[in-house]
Amino acid sequence: MVNMPPEVRETLEKQWPIPFATASSDGKPNVVFMGILKIKDDETLLFADNFFNKTATNLAENPWASVVCWTKDPRRSFQIKGSVTFQDEGPIYDEMAESVRARKPDLNMRRAVIFKIEEIYEASSGPTAGDRIA
């Protein structure tokens, strides 16, 4: 695991929705927008599986995912890669289910998505584009 630098956290907190990318075992990509994100700590992001279909299939075959975040002012962009697990009960599940209910009271979350940050890259244009920063 890596620790998320403050500028990445600040950028991620401003992003909505979050593009969430996965790939099947044979490399076929899939990207969906995630509307509910919690930053648990500097190593962990939490999402809600409300409607995963291809995403769930991909993660069962290949538990790696990537998210990207950006802001216009200041102009920054980061790509975050990590491994994903699910919980359908317990404290993390309860925490995310409450977040979902707070935004959409009639929506029942299937599972909590636990995204453990493994790598962070600079995604802004310029000479450091693509550099690993954490």
**What's the confidence (pLDDT) of residue 21?**
98
- Angle, CA 36 vertex, CA 128 and CA 106 arms, to 5°: 165
Domains of the chain as residue ranges with CATH? 6-122 (2.30.110.10)
Containing H/E element for 95? helix 91-103
CB distance 100 to 43 below 8 Å: no
Per-residue pLDDT of the chain (134 residues; tens, 9 = 90+): 799 999 999 999 999 999 999 999 999 999 999 999 999 999 999 999 998 999 999 999 999 999 999 988 888 999 999 999 999 999 999 999 999 999 999 988 999 999 999 999 999 999 999 999 99
**What's the confidence (pLDDT) of residue 17?**
95
Q: What is the pTM of this model?
A: 0.93
